[in-house]
Structure 1
């Protein structure tokens, strides 16, 4: 699932660092390899998977390739395609052996191809073997798979799109990548370079695919890119107040989640946004001295009563840990004041740590000590 950056400007540094890397140094990989799982609405028949002895569990959110859906105002085609030819199935590269073909080939009642994101997943499934075997061999395998599982004219339509897809990927790989610093930050990111990169990719998409194919293959990626750019621009704009910045990001995030076609992914993104809000509001309320009851009431807007109770228990555990840390620091300072920074003092401090904290807590204590 594509990750959505936090929508809170005060807690957005780590997600934004990830976002910058995706936009700046990984934009080509995102557009080629990042696939948001879609369940097609206008579907009649899907391609059969590999034989059962080569199948494994499908990733979460993927419509199984053998599942049949219905197309509005069309009859359902339920005929099964022949199994994958023995020569093709047994010659799969090692990385694909024992896996189920990901993706689908959808046709309507007139045996016309219905282009979905599942078709691109099918292409990318086989193309993931690049490096293990020549591209020409992969191309032959994909074309053979399509023709074995798809009637005409849908088969030729799918083959044509696949060949255009290969040409498109080659063209994208030859684009100049935006230059980024080793450790980029929001203020240093050159948005104009990123926008030029995205524009160039979109021009290639328009050159090799019609509008319906572009929407099916790249629509969700474009929506995510638009959202990410809005987040970066808002965080770069020093003239915005925190409230104004938050409002812009919230609006963009709501629009992005609403644009996602996969209900499962949409639910996960909504849950992630709620967690971001819960964490941000919890931190703010704790800093303002809110009572536990007030914090619990806020949390109940986002999570179940059971989760609220678990979070309250976690709060109590964290408060107790903080008290022990404070007591440890007081005692360790007393040891250093009395003995000085000598080996004997360090031995007593280590013994104090072992007495007051578990091994896991000592790891946290070490991090806290280095930060102070």
Structure 2
């Protein structure tokens, strides 16, 4: 059973404990008939179904009589965008952990996606779901120490290593910023070297800086995601992408986004090559079952264990899978 509830010292506060634990629900599932807060850009093909329970619910089902929380945001090309609403959608389905096994929950999500997305987009969302589940397991295994700032940094590093900077920022950036702010505030309150007047002045400075930083960070992330989606949809080349990003966010951010573009393009090429090789193997009628399986396994050899999960998720709905 997958449960990521950790206990921190009382001085840290319950909010820090839940957020640092890894898995958490941002809000409880809304009870019907209250509608979900659907994203304005989410697919509007089946708005009514988004307000029904995700799957048939029994008397002991924690999602019984609830509305689906979260949403799917689509870019100009109709492709799903990684954002906080997607993470809330995953958390909604994962509320059933302990009642259903993970495979059944994943299938619930797949059935929810089917009428809303085409096969490639469904596969991509399910791959992100698999990555999210794996990350939260690993994050929970880190444990919690006495240094909350160090714990937060360990999780920040893990998330970016496992998901990439863009996905980690979209899913966790706002939460991490709030936690960092809370930790900084607590440090000031515990600093006995400050007079009451000094502490009050430092707290006012911190609150002013945090308000500006939160707004700028949130705006920049949103803008960068929208800009990247437009670049992809319009087929904008690397040089123009860099120039526009540098003007908007500065050279370091433009370079990080360019690196992300390269990694994404490299990954897409690898998946395309695997798909083409797989199609050739499946079309070769001279192979028996054992030979076919051996060649399919060989095609997966260049991928590490985590990548294989993503590849298998992306190709699960391909013809002849």
Equivalent residue for 1:161? 128
Cα distance, 1:213–1:87 mapped onto 2, change above 3 Å? closer
What does the per-residue CA deviation read over 1:300-338, in whole Å, with 9 as the maximum and x for residues that have no partner?
xxxxxxxxxxxxxxxxxxxxxxxxxxxxxxxxxxxxxxx
Cα distance, 1:25–1:96 mapped onto 2, change above 3 Å? closer
Q: Distance in 2 between matches of 1:18 and 1:87?
A: 36
Whether 1:210 aligns to 2:164 is yes
Equivalent residue for 2:37? 64
Query: How far is the alpha carbon of 1:136 from its aligned partner?
Result: 2.0
Structure 2 residue matching 1:148: 3-state secondary structure: coil
Whether 1:228 aligns to 2:157 is no
Query: How far is the alpha carbon of 1:26 from its aligned partner?
Result: 4.2
What does the per-residue CA deviation read over 1:197-247, in whole Å, with 9 as the maximum and x for residues that have no partner?
112211221122122222221112111111111112112222222222222
Equivalent residue for 2:26? 35
Cα distance, 1:88–1:226 mapped onto 2, change above 3 Å? closer
**Matched-pair contact (CA < 8 Å) for 1:123–1:162:** yes
Which runs of 5 or more structure 2 residues have no equivalent in the other structure? 1-8, 220-321
Q: Distance in 2 between matches of 1:87 and 1:254?
A: 42
**Matched-pair contact (CA < 8 Å) for 1:23–1:194:** no
Query: How far is the alpha carbon of 1:35 from its aligned partner?
Result: 2.9
Query: How far is the alpha carbon of 1:18 from its aligned partner?
Result: 6.0
Q: Distance in 2 between matches of 1:25 and 1:166?
A: 19
CA radius of gyration, larger in: 1
Equivalent residue for 1:134? 101
**How many residues of Structure 1 are paired with residues of Structure 2 in the alignment?**
206
Whether 1:122 aligns to 2:89 is yes
Q: Distance in 2 between matches of 1:109 and 1:57?
A: 29
Q: Distance in 1 between matches of 2:109 and 2:40?
A: 22
Cα distance, 1:87–1:211 mapped onto 2, change above 3 Å? closer
- TM-score normalised by structure 1 residue count: 0.48
**Matched-pair contact (CA < 8 Å) for 2:16–2:179:** no
Cα distance, 1:87–1:214 mapped onto 2, change above 3 Å? closer
What does the per-residue CA deviation read over 1:23-75, in whole Å, with 9 as the maximum and x for residues that have no partner?
7754534x4215389xxxxxxxxxxxx9xxx94214xxxx722x5349xxxxx
Which runs of 5 or more structure 1 residues have no equivalent in the other structure? 1-16, 38-49, 71-76, 179-189, 264-372
The partner residue of 2:201 within 224, 247, 254 is: 247
Structure 1 residue matching 2:167: 3-state secondary structure: helix
What RMSD, in angstroms, separates the aligned Cα atoms of the two structures? 3.5
Cα distance, 1:132–1:236 mapped onto 2, change above 3 Å? same
Cα distance, 1:262–1:64 mapped onto 2, change above 3 Å? farther
Q: Distance in 1 between matches of 2:170 and 2:73?
A: 12
Deviates more, 1:248-257 or 1:167-176: 248-257
Q: Distance in 1 between matches of 2:156 and 2:61?
A: 34
What does the per-residue CA deviation read over 1:265-290, in whole Å, with 9 as the maximum and x for residues that have no partner?
xxxxxxxxxxxxxxxxxxxxxxxxxx
Query: How far is the alpha carbon of 1:168 from its aligned partner?
Result: 0.5
Cα distance, 1:87–1:25 mapped onto 2, change above 3 Å? closer
**Matched-pair contact (CA < 8 Å) for 1:103–1:122:** yes
Structure 2 residue matching 1:149: 3-state secondary structure: coil
Q: Distance in 2 between matches of 1:155 and 1:137?
A: 16
Q: Distance in 1 between matches of 2:34 and 2:10?
A: 29
Cα distance, 1:33–1:25 mapped onto 2, change above 3 Å? closer
Q: Distance in 2 between matches of 1:250 and 1:34?
A: 31
